[in-house]
Amino acid sequence: MLGWTLLASFALTTAAVAQSTSSFAINPPAAAAPPDDGQWAMPAKNYASTRYSELAEITEDNVKNLQVAFTFSTGVNKGQEAAPLVVGNTMYIVTPFPNILYALDLTKPGAPMKWKFEPNPEPAAQGVACCDVVNRGAAFFEGRIYFNTLDGHTIAVDAATGKPVWNTHIGNINIGETITMAPLVVKGKVLVGNSGGEMGVRGWIKALDAGDGHVVWTAYNTGPDAEVLIGPDFKPHYDMDKGKDLGVTSWPPDAWKIGGGNVWGWISYDPDLNLIFHGTGNPGPWNPDLRPGDNKWTAGIFARDPDTGAAKWFYQWTPHDLHDYDGINEQVLLDMTWQGKPRKVLVRPERNGYVYLLDRTTGEVLSAVPFGPVNSSTGVDLKTGRLIVNPDKKTGTGKVVRDICPTASGLKDWQPSAFSPKTGLLYIPHNNLCMDEEGVDVNYIAGTPYVGMNVRMIPGPGGNRGAFTAWDVAAAKPAWSLKENFPVWSGAVATAGNVVFYGTMEGWFKAVSARTGELLWQFKTSSGIIGQPITYRGPDGHQYVAILSGVGGWAGAIVSGDLDPRDATAALGFVNVMKDLKDVTTPGGTLYVFRLP
């Protein structure tokens, strides 16, 4: 019940005050966040994943004057989760299925299309994508755009001409495998992971050679150590993660082969430590009675050597997950003083409801504090590293457990946060939802869902289904929090002008003060927003802000998939809490770009 108490104090802090300007200095490591060049070449802005821009032409004072510079229809009526990229004088956007890649010429009035590339993915892939047919963005590296298609291809396209350079098929839709994540290019390797945690797909991450697309290494997240790339370098911090072949022994026989642990979220990279960090998705099926054990290495985080894939450490956010708490959220790499000592940390607002601060050299948990209502667990034991599960909220076959917070979609899902070194605050877009769950038996049939859980979601305490919370990283507590009617399913971007942008599922694109959360400006776009805002310096030297509008994703599937709100369990239970979304927005993908007059 701890979580509930916390929540009570929470609601009171809304938007009121600010940030003590203590003597903290929290900064991303310089090697992972080089000085801003005004471009936006990867969805997370930099390897540290700060989503922070040093551009400061748009400020708290003048943001109210923002106007539309140009718009562009993506021609796709599904959820637009991608971040636009800007490199040189060109903007690149990748759409949801059918994953069209557009290049827009920023030097000309209205930013006309330079070229488009249509990969023509297999239409059948749409049937095996768990939660709308989204794509979370592309990445630029040395003259090429890299992106993934829903039907399991990674493609390199020449950034200047739009001509394909290579195309590697790495996912198999016939076992339910799709790709929705944005790749990250590190040291000439394109890092890609699969989706399919709801289809019994065994999770992996691969490194493809950026030059010719061949697979350099593959690391699975379940199974024998040799396939997980666990070797002599593997030094997990906690005893619970030590032992031989835990990816096999922490499962019933053979269950690891269809056990999930997918990599459909975010990857960060620390060049100094030569480590990449990536989360792993939920174990499958959702019904925990069907997979007794800790289910390694699902719902956790790996640090790996980008050259070989070799695992360095692992930490499991949610051992033996009971509620679909995928561990794939973004990790922001920061250097800070923690309890008097300089530490290399990563901060992670996690699906299970806690903001974690980890030592990124070892995987040690420095702190874990809930950032909203949590009753499925009561805390994290910092000695053992283990999440303390609330037995009252344990799910299983044949019983209905009510009012579990957070939901399967988590206190926060994939929607990435942003960190401003100017305020020391992490801006977290998130949900405020609870759910009822009933475990049921399920047959594994390759290429069909493997879930075994009936779910019905409801609004969380207070009734606001979403929130935008500024988290004081040094103090490990919220500075302020804004309530939103619908889940905040969009990402955030923070700027040196002390303005933070995010979007709502009604379609409002909002600018708030980075210090106080005060609403400074808003613009109503044509559809609900679930995309990732970015900001860049245009060819004219001025600062622009861009966002893709177009509702969908798991939360918006009721609109983008035209689902029937009379079925409480539709879209894995999400529809029950989004019944009114059809009354306020319609589908339609459009790019909006803003600037000062």
Can residue 571 be called a binding residue for other proteins (CB under 8 A)? yes
**What are the C-alpha distances in Å from 562 to residues 114, 433, 581?**
33, 22, 11
> Site size for ligand HEC, by CB under 6 A?
4
Can residue 487 be called a binding residue for other proteins (CB under 8 A)? no
- In whole angstroms, what is the distance from residue 119 CA to residue 149 CA? 8
Whether 221 sits among the annotated catalytic residues: the reply is no
The interface with ligand HEC within residues 478-537 (CB under 6 A) comprises: none
Q: Which region, judged by CB under 8 A, interacts with other proteins, from 123-131, 230-238, 407-415, 497-505?
A: 123-131
To ligand HEC, the closest distance from the beta carbon of 55 in angstroms equals 42
* Burial class of residue 232, CB neighbours in 10 A (0-12, 13-18, 19+): exposed
Amino acid of residue 80: Q
Among residues 36, 198, 326, 350, the one annotated as catalytic is 198
Cβ proximity to other proteins, 115 vs 444, nearer residue: 444
- In whole angstroms, what is the distance from residue 427 CA to residue 501 CA? 10
Choose from other proteins, ligand HEC, none: what does 442 bind? Cβ within 5-8 Å by kind. Answer: other proteins
Reported as type and span, the H/E element at residue 377 is strand 377-380
Q: Which region, judged by CB under 6 A, interacts with ligand HEC, from 30-38, 120-128, 156-164, 543-551?
A: 120-128
Can residue 127 be called a binding residue for ligand HEC (CB under 6 A)? yes
Give the position of tokens 């551009």. 55
Q: Which of 218, 85, 96 is nearest to 151 (CA)?
A: 96
Among 89, 362, 397, 448, binds ligand HEC (CB under 6 A): 448
Among 32, 58, 94, 128, binds ligand HEC (CB under 6 A): 128
Among 438, 457, 473, 548, binds other proteins (CB under 8 A): 438
Q: Which of 533, 456, 545, 405 is nearest to 43 (CA)?
A: 533
Q: Which region, judged by CB under 8 A, interacts with other proteins, from 41-49, 117-125, 184-192, 533-541?
A: 117-125
Site string for other proteins, 440-459 (x = CB under 8 A): x-xx-x-xxxxx--x-x---
CB atoms within 10 A of CB 485: 16
**Cβ density class 106-137: b for 16+ within 10 Å, e for less:** beeeebeebbebebebbeebbebbbbbbbbbb
Structure token pair of residue 146: 């890299």
Cβ proximity to ligand HEC, 55 vs 128, nearer residue: 128
Can residue 171 be called a binding residue for other proteins (CB under 8 A)? no
Can residue 126 be called a binding residue for other proteins (CB under 8 A)? yes
Q: Which of 183, 148, 174, 160 is nearest to 43 (CA)?
A: 183
To ligand HEC, the closest distance from the beta carbon of 127 in angstroms equals 3
3-state secondary structure 255-295: HHHHCECCCCCCEEEECCCCEEEEECCCECCCCHHHCCCCC
Whether 324 sits among the annotated catalytic residues: the reply is yes
Can residue 442 be called a binding residue for ligand HEC (CB under 6 A)? no
Give the position of tokens 């926060």. 412
Among residues 324, 330, 436, 437, the one annotated as catalytic is 324
- Active-site annotation, residues: 198, 282, 324
* Residues making contact with ligand HEC (CB under 6 A): 126-128, 448
* Residues making contact with other proteins (CB under 8 A): 123-131, 198, 400, 436, 438, 440, 442-443, 445, 447-451, 454, 456, 557, 561-572, 575
